[in-house]
Chain A
Amino acid sequence: MRVSFQGVEVLRGDWTLTADGVFGEGRHLVTGPVGSGKSTVALLMAGMVTPDRGRITRGGEGPLMLSLPFPEHHSTGATVREEIASWGLAADPVLAEAGMLGRGDGELHRCSRGELKRLHMACVLARRWDLLLLDEPYTALDCPGREALSARLSAPPAGTTVIFTHARESLPRVDRLWEIREGRLVDLGPVREAIPLWSSPPAYLRSALDQGAVPKNISVQDVREALCRTAG
């Protein structure tokens, strides 16, 4: 699903956000500091916030999913199995994906937030969406969980996936980079050309760029490969 921002402005007291650009099919990463407006962009794209000025156009009527930072905000089932069923999914593949095999009959409120997040992401990613908006998908996940999620998100999606995050330790391969700078959503372009323009890249990527490496993408794996090429 294609989403266009035309002269969009959100005004809240002395805080403003402006946005122009088009999110086409593929994987997009939107970064920016805490409080910069990433969640607001996600809510605008989902149609849950109306801009004060400008227009947002969504091309297509396919299924849309906005995944919120806190997994408990999506929970509806009393047990893990009921929660999975509420997404219209079979339990076992989701339990396996979430690393929770044998936990289906457990009460949902007894799961840790990390477990809830893994379960939520497994449910979200088991379905197909024309527009998938992931607001802070790494929150509450430990290092192995973040790495597994990045690997999963690195697979090319069928529709448009937009990842909004301040995380910079484990990132997936993406097609296009965006950044919120001083209240403005900036389209940095296709990932390869965008990397040198990124004002707040992860430390591992910045270090590689300083060493003259030219990564094809932003994942740790891509940066390691670029460093190997640079070292000859």
Chain B
Amino acid sequence: MIRVEGLVHAPLSIPLLEIPDGETAVIGPNGAGKTTLLRILSGITLPAQGSVRVEGLPSREQEVGWVGEYPDRNFLFDRVRDEIASPLRFRHLPCSETEARVQEIAETLGIARLRDRSVMALSGGEKVLVALAAALVSRPRLLLVDEVDSHLDPDTVLLMEAALRRAGCPSVIRVTAQMESALRASHLVFLQGGKVIHQGAPDRVFSALAGTAFLPPLWRCGR
């Protein structure tokens, strides 16, 4: 459980938000504060006011993974295996443990075949999976994913979602611009003007969004 209390940080104003474990999608218009919320949840940004607790602890005291909107802009290493191993190597974990964990997460996400490739030679979807692997190799309590699917086709988004589920991270919160992807999350948060307007099960939230452009096209066509 993630608990946000008394949060004030432009453009956000959130008196109370409780996000259950599982896969949460954050949706809303441009400028609603989605990325700002993710940065605060991650501990990258400290809020001007208010608190964030992940299982009762500040985010910076928990293991948190982050995948930004353009994963390849943050790659540090050329080879896929080095990029995935980097968070563990920076912590000076023994080489044998690092190798084993890189192998494990690469197999879980279905990218073991890419380990010796250059990250620059990968497709957009493969780059996202490598960034997810690098974020998940530390076994985070919370994984935050900022709208990487805006650069992916719907079939690749399905692959990414399946890989995330296989990875078994207790809490995944992802900003998405694809409403049909949001529909598949276990929990949905709709932000507008920095405020949480709706949250809950996707069916419930999308029912509340009837008549807006946020309704998944499949729903607008009678499901």
Binding site for B on A (CB under 8 A): 32-35, 112, 114-115, 118, 139-147, 166, 168-170, 200, 202-204, 207-208, 220, 223-224, 227
Contacts and interface: CB of A to CB of B under 8 A. Distances in A.
B168 interface: no
Interface in B173-223: 177-180, 212-214, 216-218, 220-223
A220 B217 contact: yes
B221 A139 contact: no
In this complex, the member of A144, A147, A166 whose beta carbon has the largest number of chain B beta carbons within 10 angstroms is A166
A32 B216 CA distance: 21
Contact of B221 (A118, A141, A147, A223): A223
A35 B30 CA distance: 26
Interface residues of B, number: 28
Given A142-B30, A203-B218, A204-B218, A35 B123 contact: yes
Contacts, number: 84
A220 B125 CA distance: 27
A207 B218 contact: yes
Contacts of B28: 142
A203 B123 contact: no
Nearest to B34: A142
Given A204-B220, A227-B221, A146 B213 contact: yes
Given A34-B125, A139-B151, A169-B178, A144 B213 contact: yes
Contacts of B155: 33, 200
Contacts of B179: 143, 169
Interface string B149-161: 0111111100000
A112 B213 contact: no
B125 A35 contact: yes
Contacts of A35: 123-125
B29 interface: yes
A54 to B, nearest CB: 24
Nearest to B128: A34
B56 interface: no
Contacts of A207: 218, 221, 223
B15 interface: no
Contacts of A112: 30-31
A227 B180 CA distance: 19
Contacts of A145: 29-30
